[in-house]
A and B are shown apart, each in its own frame.
Chain A
């Protein structure tokens, strides 16, 4: 996804009352995160589960959060998603990079990239791939889910090597 859209997504979500952006960085979405730093609204954590825990504390206080991470971090987070987010029905937006989407990505990304769509499916996490073309509609979809107290996932594909 190009730089300008990544920055616009950030601004659009802030405008629509997402107050906290917490996570572990991913170069796939580095402009999105950079926009957050410019606006002093990003918290980088040591691990992805930690980010989900903090975001849950905010959600319990009725403050909306987005949690960003690489797909490696998503794999780390599965137990936290099932035993915290889904157990208590805590509404969060996840933004997850998709390394291993291209067939020639680095070897450490290939396996997780391959199983990522199925992992999301069996977790029952509603998901959409966000692109340069559909970014606004995808954000609106996620914001609507959140307004209905549901968690959901936006996926950014890694389309460069």
Chain B
């Protein structure tokens, strides 16, 4: 599965709930395949999508908060997993798209082909699922409907050929419509 396809499939399953997407191609893909006011595109501050998601999850216990992260992003803020685990937000679902590379900057490798993020997540008490195909994606999403977070879904993806366009909304607009969507 390529990232854009995975993001399309997963974001269609998330109706009316929040998605915080990491900078780089993850936000660009999400913007192209399923733009919604409930998406918060984090276009800078690499590494922090899971932290922003944690703040949202704690303050909005009745909404499910989904974080669309990358392997490079989470490796930059691994400490975040310990903080999330300490607080155990039930409404926190962390989806990590792992292509073992920094694809937006030219495909330089990360360490996830040698170390396993799922083992790290398990060690800090997340419920962890690993996904390699469209089929397993459907099964995992059915399963987690009946579960409490914090949950991590590691989605292994292959490198893409086509690049999505940049998020064309101004940051203040992203924020304003996102905040408004939280009120409803």
B19-32 interface code vs A (CB 8 A; 1 in, 0 out): 01000000000000
**Bound-complex Cα distance A79 to B45 (A):** 7
Q: In this assembly, does B80 line the interface, its C-beta being within 8 Å of a C-beta of chain A? A: yes
> Are A87 and B171 neighbours in the complex by a CB distance under 8 Å?
yes
In A2-52, which residues have CB < 8 Å from any B CB? 20, 43, 45-47, 49-52
> Are A60 and B55 neighbours in the complex by a CB distance under 8 Å?
yes
Q: Which residues of A contact B87 (CB under 8 A)?
A: 43
**Bound-complex Cα distance A46 to B178 (A):** 27
A62-90 interface code vs B (CB 8 A; 1 in, 0 out): 11010000000000000110111001111
**Bound-complex Cα distance A161 to B38 (A):** 49
Q: Which residues of B contact A141 (CB under 8 A)?
A: none
Q: How big is the B interface, by class? A: 20 to 34
> Are B82 and A46 neighbours in the complex by a CB distance under 8 Å?
yes
Q: Which residues of A contact B182 (CB under 8 A)?
A: 60-61
CB distance from B104 to the nearest CB of A (A): 15
CB distance from A59 to the nearest CB of B (A): 8
Q: In this assembly, does B172 line the interface, its C-beta being within 8 Å of a C-beta of chain A? A: yes
Q: In this assembly, does A101 line the interface, its C-beta being within 8 Å of a C-beta of chain B? A: no
**Bound-complex Cα distance A67 to B47 (A):** 18
Q: Which residues of B contact A20 (CB under 8 A)?
A: 55
Identify the closest chain B residue to A59 (Cβ).
B55
Identify the closest chain A residue to B48 (Cβ).
A53
Identify the closest chain B residue to A56 (Cβ).
B52
CB distance from B19 to the nearest CB of A (A): 13
Q: Is the interface of A mostly helix, strand, loop or mixed?
A: helix
Q: Which residues of A contact B172 (CB under 8 A)?
A: 88-89
Q: In this assembly, does B128 line the interface, its C-beta being within 8 Å of a C-beta of chain A? A: no
> Are A88 and B175 neighbours in the complex by a CB distance under 8 Å?
yes
**Bound-complex Cα distance A114 to B109 (A):** 38
Q: In this assembly, does B126 line the interface, its C-beta being within 8 Å of a C-beta of chain A? A: no
Q: In this assembly, does B56 line the interface, its C-beta being within 8 Å of a C-beta of chain A? A: yes
Q: In this assembly, does B121 line the interface, its C-beta being within 8 Å of a C-beta of chain A? A: no
Q: In this assembly, does A102 line the interface, its C-beta being within 8 Å of a C-beta of chain B? A: no
> Are B179 and A46 neighbours in the complex by a CB distance under 8 Å?
no
Q: In this assembly, does A146 line the interface, its C-beta being within 8 Å of a C-beta of chain B? A: no
Option from A45, A51, A55, A60 in Cβ contact (under 8 Å) with B40: A60
- Identify the 5 closest CB pairs spanning chains A and B, nearest first: A57-B55, A83-B44, A53-B51, A46-B79, A53-B48
Chain B contact residues, CB within 8 Å of chain A: 20, 40, 42-45, 47-60, 77, 79-80, 82-83, 87, 171-172, 174-175, 178-179, 182
Given contacts A61-B56, A88-B174, 11 further A-B contacts (CB under 8 A): A43-B83, A43-B87, A45-B83, A46-B80, A56-B52, A57-B53, A60-B52, A60-B56, A83-B43, A87-B171, A89-B171
